[in-house]
Structure formats: structure tokens, C-alpha cells
Amino acid sequence: MSGGLAGLISGVFGIVLSILVEVVPGFKLWWENLPSEKKRPARAIAALIIVAAIVALHFTGVYDFGLGVEVTFEAVLSIVMAWISFVVGAEMTFQTFEKSFPRNRE
């Protein structure tokens, strides 16, 4: 299946984003103050932004992510898989941080 590079890059961005919100002081404070019911939707929106950027870069010819030259079922499937890669990467990293470094919650 083509488009594997888009999924890989998207998954890496998901991991990096999760690490940033757990480690970088400004992001960490914002993330901790975000209500828990809004954290998953926030990651999903970030995933949409990253995947939209990958699609835009590909179809404008800036970089070839292996999605083809036109929008086909396979290209759409690759885009969806890239979104899923981001969400899974972000969620798994987030869960790892939650279990490894529990916070004091009141």
C-alpha cells in the first residue's frame, strides 16, 4: 500500500506532540489545565491538522508522500491510516506517561 510514509510521519508527530505536552513547561501547564473530557478531542483535532498538512504538501507537489497524483480510494485510505497513526501514537505515548509519571490529583 502506498502512503506508508504519511502514516509514519503522522505517527511520529503524534508521539512528539504527546511528549511536548508532558515535558515542555508551557504546554504541560496548558494540558494539565485542560479538562480531561477535552484531551482526546484536542489530540484528534491536532491529528486532523497534521494530516491536512501532509495532504496539502503532497497534492501541491512540495513533497511526495506516496499518495498518488489524484484522489483515489487508496489515497483516501492512506490519509485515514495516517490520521489513525497519529491518534494511536499520541494516545499510546500519553498513556505511557500517565502510568509512568502519575500526577497528584485531588
pLDDT in tens, 46-82: 888 888 888 888 888 888 877 777 777 887 888 888 8
pLDDT at residue 80, as a whole number: 85
pLDDT at 101 over 80: no
Q: Are 76 and 68 in contact (CB under 8 A)?
A: no
Is residue 98 within a helix (H) or strand (E), and if so which, with residue range?
helix 73-100
| pTM: predicted TM-score of the whole model, two decimal places | 0.70
66 φ/ψ angles, rounded to the nearest 5 degrees: 80, 25
What's the DSSP call for residue 24? S
pLDDT at 106 over 60: no
Provide the terminal-to-terminal Cα distance of the chain, rounded to the nearest Å.
Answer: 47
